[in-house]
Amino acid sequence: MNRAGQRVEPGSIAVVTGASQGLGEAIGRRLAQDGWHVVLAARRKDKLDRIVSELAAADGSAESVVMDVSDPEQVAAVIRDVGERHGRIDGLVNNAGHFSGRGILDTKLEEFRRNLVMNLEAPFLTMQAVLPFMIERGRGAIVNIGSVSGMRASENTGGYGASKAGLSHLGAIVAMEMGKYNIRVNTVTPGSTWSPTFAKSVEGKTEEEIEAMQKAGTILGRFGQPAEIADAVAFLLSDEGQFITGTNLPVDGGAYWFRGGNRLIGMRD
Protein backbone atom coordinates (compact mmCIF):
# COMPACT_ATOMS: atom_id res chain seq x y z
CA MET A 1 0.00 0.00 0.00
CA ASN A 2 1.51 3.34 -1.02
CA ARG A 3 1.39 6.77 0.63
CA ALA A 4 -1.87 7.74 -1.07
CA GLY A 5 -3.53 4.49 -0.01
CA GLN A 6 -3.83 3.03 -3.49
CA ARG A 7 -2.37 -0.27 -4.67
CA VAL A 8 0.20 -0.22 -7.46
CA GLU A 9 2.19 -3.30 -8.41
CA PRO A 10 5.90 -2.72 -7.72
CA GLY A 11 7.83 -1.85 -10.87
CA SER A 12 4.77 -0.60 -12.74
CA ILE A 13 5.48 1.69 -15.70
CA ALA A 14 3.14 4.50 -16.74
CA VAL A 15 3.46 6.77 -19.77
CA VAL A 16 1.93 10.26 -19.53
CA THR A 17 1.72 12.42 -22.65
CA GLY A 18 1.69 16.21 -22.58
CA ALA A 19 3.52 15.94 -19.26
CA SER A 20 5.63 19.11 -19.33
CA GLN A 21 3.07 21.42 -17.70
CA GLY A 22 -0.44 21.84 -16.37
CA LEU A 23 -2.59 18.78 -16.01
CA GLY A 24 -0.02 16.38 -17.48
CA GLU A 25 2.62 17.53 -15.01
CA ALA A 26 0.19 17.15 -12.10
CA ILE A 27 -0.72 13.63 -13.21
CA GLY A 28 2.92 12.63 -13.57
CA ARG A 29 3.74 13.93 -10.10
CA ARG A 30 0.78 12.14 -8.52
CA LEU A 31 1.60 8.82 -10.17
CA ALA A 32 5.21 9.05 -9.02
CA GLN A 33 3.97 9.63 -5.47
CA ASP A 34 1.82 6.52 -5.82
CA GLY A 35 4.84 4.35 -6.66
CA TRP A 36 4.76 4.28 -10.45
CA HIS A 37 7.86 4.72 -12.56
CA VAL A 38 6.55 7.53 -14.72
CA VAL A 39 7.64 8.13 -18.31
CA LEU A 40 6.95 11.81 -18.94
CA ALA A 41 6.44 12.48 -22.64
CA ALA A 42 6.25 15.85 -24.38
CA ARG A 43 8.12 17.99 -26.90
CA ARG A 44 9.97 20.20 -24.39
CA LYS A 45 12.79 18.15 -22.88
CA ASP A 46 14.05 21.00 -20.70
CA LYS A 47 10.72 21.21 -18.88
CA LEU A 48 10.46 17.44 -18.56
CA ASP A 49 13.98 17.12 -17.15
CA ARG A 50 13.18 19.73 -14.49
CA ILE A 51 10.19 17.71 -13.34
CA VAL A 52 12.20 14.48 -13.35
CA SER A 53 14.87 16.11 -11.17
CA GLU A 54 12.28 17.40 -8.71
CA LEU A 55 10.63 13.99 -8.49
CA ALA A 56 13.98 12.28 -7.92
CA ALA A 57 14.69 14.68 -5.05
CA ALA A 58 11.37 13.57 -3.51
CA ASP A 59 12.20 9.86 -3.96
CA GLY A 60 9.99 9.56 -7.04
CA SER A 61 10.93 7.48 -10.06
CA ALA A 62 10.60 9.10 -13.48
CA GLU A 63 12.25 9.65 -16.82
CA SER A 64 11.66 11.97 -19.76
CA VAL A 65 11.16 11.15 -23.41
CA VAL A 66 10.74 13.59 -26.27
CA MET A 67 7.66 12.65 -28.28
CA ASP A 68 5.41 14.55 -30.67
CA VAL A 69 2.12 12.67 -30.41
CA SER A 70 1.05 13.91 -33.84
CA ASP A 71 3.95 12.04 -35.49
CA PRO A 72 2.93 8.38 -36.00
CA GLU A 73 6.46 7.09 -36.59
CA GLN A 74 7.84 8.90 -33.55
CA VAL A 75 5.04 7.62 -31.31
CA ALA A 76 5.62 4.04 -32.42
CA ALA A 77 9.40 4.29 -31.99
CA VAL A 78 9.34 5.98 -28.58
CA ILE A 79 6.72 3.65 -27.09
CA ARG A 80 8.52 0.60 -28.46
CA ASP A 81 11.78 1.80 -26.92
CA VAL A 82 10.13 2.39 -23.53
CA GLY A 83 8.44 -1.01 -23.57
CA GLU A 84 11.56 -2.90 -24.62
CA ARG A 85 13.85 -1.14 -22.13
CA HIS A 86 11.54 -1.76 -19.18
CA GLY A 87 10.03 -5.02 -20.38
CA ARG A 88 6.54 -3.71 -19.70
CA ILE A 89 4.11 -0.82 -19.92
CA ASP A 90 1.30 -0.99 -17.38
CA GLY A 91 -0.40 2.41 -17.64
CA LEU A 92 -1.02 5.11 -20.22
CA VAL A 93 -2.48 8.57 -19.77
CA ASN A 94 -3.42 10.34 -22.99
CA ASN A 95 -3.29 13.93 -21.80
CA ALA A 96 -1.63 15.79 -24.69
CA GLY A 97 -4.18 17.78 -26.62
CA HIS A 98 -5.06 20.93 -28.49
CA PHE A 99 -7.75 23.55 -28.09
CA SER A 100 -8.87 26.15 -30.57
CA GLY A 101 -12.22 27.85 -30.26
CA ARG A 102 -14.05 29.62 -33.05
CA GLY A 103 -17.52 29.55 -34.48
CA ILE A 104 -18.24 27.15 -37.34
CA LEU A 105 -18.17 29.93 -39.95
CA ASP A 106 -14.80 31.20 -38.73
CA THR A 107 -13.03 27.87 -38.30
CA LYS A 108 -10.53 26.99 -41.02
CA LEU A 109 -10.25 23.37 -42.10
CA GLU A 110 -6.64 23.05 -40.93
CA GLU A 111 -7.65 24.34 -37.49
CA PHE A 112 -10.50 21.83 -37.28
CA ARG A 113 -8.15 19.03 -38.33
CA ARG A 114 -5.54 20.03 -35.73
CA ASN A 115 -8.08 19.33 -32.98
CA LEU A 116 -8.85 15.95 -34.48
CA VAL A 117 -5.18 15.04 -34.89
CA MET A 118 -4.13 15.98 -31.37
CA ASN A 119 -7.25 14.98 -29.44
CA LEU A 120 -8.37 11.85 -31.28
CA GLU A 121 -5.75 10.55 -33.70
CA ALA A 122 -2.84 10.90 -31.25
CA PRO A 123 -4.53 8.88 -28.46
CA PHE A 124 -5.40 6.25 -31.06
CA LEU A 125 -1.71 6.02 -31.98
CA THR A 126 -0.45 5.78 -28.41
CA MET A 127 -3.04 3.19 -27.43
CA GLN A 128 -2.18 1.14 -30.48
CA ALA A 129 1.50 1.32 -29.54
CA VAL A 130 1.19 0.36 -25.84
CA LEU A 131 -1.48 -2.33 -26.11
CA PRO A 132 0.85 -5.13 -27.31
CA PHE A 133 2.93 -4.70 -24.14
CA MET A 134 -0.18 -4.81 -21.98
CA ILE A 135 -1.59 -7.82 -23.81
CA GLU A 136 1.68 -9.68 -23.27
CA ARG A 137 1.42 -9.14 -19.50
CA GLY A 138 -2.32 -9.84 -19.37
CA ARG A 139 -3.16 -6.55 -17.67
CA GLY A 140 -3.03 -2.78 -18.08
CA ALA A 141 -4.96 0.45 -17.66
CA ILE A 142 -5.44 3.44 -19.94
CA VAL A 143 -6.97 6.80 -19.06
CA ASN A 144 -7.85 9.27 -21.79
CA ILE A 145 -8.37 12.91 -20.83
CA GLY A 146 -11.62 14.19 -22.30
CA SER A 147 -13.50 17.44 -21.72
CA VAL A 148 -16.93 18.54 -20.63
CA SER A 149 -17.10 20.12 -24.11
CA GLY A 150 -17.23 16.58 -25.47
CA MET A 151 -20.30 15.83 -23.36
CA ARG A 152 -22.41 18.90 -24.04
CA ALA A 153 -22.63 21.44 -26.84
CA SER A 154 -20.85 24.74 -26.20
CA GLU A 155 -20.49 27.61 -28.62
CA ASN A 156 -17.14 28.02 -30.36
CA THR A 157 -15.89 24.52 -29.56
CA GLY A 158 -16.74 22.66 -32.78
CA GLY A 159 -13.47 20.89 -33.53
CA TYR A 160 -12.44 20.55 -29.90
CA GLY A 161 -15.79 19.31 -28.61
CA ALA A 162 -16.25 16.88 -31.51
CA SER A 163 -12.75 15.45 -31.04
CA LYS A 164 -13.23 14.98 -27.29
CA ALA A 165 -16.61 13.32 -27.81
CA GLY A 166 -14.95 10.98 -30.28
CA LEU A 167 -12.15 10.22 -27.82
CA SER A 168 -14.60 9.14 -25.13
CA HIS A 169 -16.40 6.86 -27.57
CA LEU A 170 -13.12 5.46 -28.91
CA GLY A 171 -12.07 4.66 -25.36
CA ALA A 172 -15.26 2.72 -24.75
CA ILE A 173 -14.74 0.72 -27.94
CA VAL A 174 -11.13 -0.11 -27.01
CA ALA A 175 -12.32 -1.11 -23.54
CA MET A 176 -14.73 -3.60 -25.12
CA GLU A 177 -12.02 -5.04 -27.36
CA MET A 178 -9.40 -5.28 -24.61
CA GLY A 179 -11.51 -6.60 -21.74
CA LYS A 180 -10.58 -10.19 -22.56
CA TYR A 181 -6.95 -9.28 -21.89
CA ASN A 182 -7.73 -7.67 -18.51
CA ILE A 183 -6.94 -4.22 -19.93
CA ARG A 184 -9.13 -1.36 -18.73
CA VAL A 185 -9.79 1.86 -20.64
CA ASN A 186 -11.57 4.88 -19.16
CA THR A 187 -12.02 8.58 -19.81
CA VAL A 188 -11.64 11.32 -17.21
CA THR A 189 -13.57 14.43 -18.23
CA PRO A 190 -12.46 17.70 -16.63
CA GLY A 191 -14.36 20.94 -16.78
CA SER A 192 -12.64 24.32 -16.49
CA THR A 193 -9.39 23.68 -14.62
CA TRP A 194 -6.73 26.18 -13.57
CA SER A 195 -3.60 25.69 -15.65
CA PRO A 196 -1.21 27.77 -17.76
CA THR A 197 -3.47 27.60 -20.81
CA PHE A 198 -6.61 28.41 -18.84
CA ALA A 199 -4.92 31.29 -17.04
CA LYS A 200 -3.93 32.72 -20.41
CA SER A 201 -7.52 32.48 -21.60
CA VAL A 202 -8.75 34.75 -18.81
CA GLU A 203 -5.98 37.33 -19.07
CA GLY A 204 -7.37 40.84 -18.86
CA LYS A 205 -10.41 39.83 -16.82
CA THR A 206 -10.90 41.30 -13.37
CA GLU A 207 -11.08 39.22 -10.22
CA GLU A 208 -14.79 39.97 -10.08
CA GLU A 209 -15.30 38.72 -13.65
CA ILE A 210 -13.35 35.52 -12.96
CA GLU A 211 -15.34 34.93 -9.76
CA ALA A 212 -18.55 35.40 -11.70
CA MET A 213 -17.38 32.84 -14.27
CA GLN A 214 -16.72 30.32 -11.54
CA LYS A 215 -20.10 30.80 -9.90
CA ALA A 216 -21.86 30.62 -13.26
CA GLY A 217 -20.00 27.53 -14.41
CA THR A 218 -20.24 24.78 -11.78
CA ILE A 219 -22.42 23.47 -9.00
CA LEU A 220 -19.49 23.91 -6.61
CA GLY A 221 -18.95 27.50 -7.71
CA ARG A 222 -15.26 27.23 -8.56
CA PHE A 223 -12.85 25.94 -11.18
CA GLY A 224 -10.92 22.72 -10.70
CA GLN A 225 -7.27 22.29 -9.78
CA PRO A 226 -4.92 20.01 -11.76
CA ALA A 227 -4.25 17.91 -8.66
CA GLU A 228 -7.98 17.13 -8.37
CA ILE A 229 -8.03 15.75 -11.91
CA ALA A 230 -4.83 13.82 -11.18
CA ASP A 231 -6.52 12.17 -8.19
CA ALA A 232 -9.20 10.69 -10.46
CA VAL A 233 -6.65 9.50 -13.00
CA ALA A 234 -4.53 7.85 -10.30
CA PHE A 235 -7.58 6.03 -8.94
CA LEU A 236 -8.58 4.63 -12.33
CA LEU A 237 -5.04 3.49 -13.10
CA SER A 238 -4.60 1.80 -9.74
CA ASP A 239 -5.91 -1.57 -8.61
CA GLU A 240 -8.51 0.33 -6.60
CA GLY A 241 -10.28 0.88 -9.93
CA GLN A 242 -9.82 -2.66 -11.20
CA PHE A 243 -13.54 -3.26 -11.87
CA ILE A 244 -14.07 0.01 -13.77
CA THR A 245 -13.74 0.11 -17.54
CA GLY A 246 -15.39 1.75 -20.51
CA THR A 247 -16.66 4.64 -18.42
CA ASN A 248 -16.53 8.42 -18.73
CA LEU A 249 -15.90 10.03 -15.34
CA PRO A 250 -16.70 13.77 -15.18
CA VAL A 251 -14.43 15.62 -12.75
CA ASP A 252 -15.93 19.02 -13.35
CA GLY A 253 -17.50 20.34 -10.16
CA GLY A 254 -20.90 19.55 -11.61
CA ALA A 255 -20.38 21.73 -14.72
CA TYR A 256 -22.09 19.25 -17.01
CA TRP A 257 -25.37 19.47 -15.08
CA PHE A 258 -25.19 23.15 -14.22
CA ARG A 259 -27.29 24.97 -16.80
CA GLY A 260 -26.14 28.39 -15.62
CA GLY A 261 -22.78 27.68 -17.20
CA ASN A 262 -23.92 26.35 -20.55
CA ARG A 263 -21.97 29.01 -22.42
CA LEU A 264 -18.66 28.42 -20.70
CA ILE A 265 -15.91 26.77 -22.68
CA GLY A 266 -14.37 23.87 -20.76
CA MET A 267 -10.57 24.18 -20.85
CA ARG A 268 -8.16 22.07 -18.92
CA ASP A 269 -4.46 22.58 -19.55
CA 233/CA 149 separation, integer angstroms: 19
CA 46/CA 32 separation, integer angstroms: 19
| Residues acting as catalytic residues | 160
Angle between helices 122-137 and 72-86 (to 10 degrees): 20
φ, ψ at 134 (rounded to 5°): -70, -40
Residue of 90, 37, 35 whose CA lies nearest to 62: 37
Asked if residue 163 lies in contact with residue 111, where contact means CB atoms within 8 angstroms, the answer is: no
Asked if residue 202 lies in contact with residue 235, where contact means CB atoms within 8 angstroms, the answer is: no
Q: Where do runs of H (alpha helix) occur along the chain?
A: 22-33, 45-57, 72-86, 109-116, 122-137, 158-178, 196-201, 207-217, 226-237
What does DSSP say about strands 61-66 and 140-145: parallel, antiparallel, or unpaired? unpaired
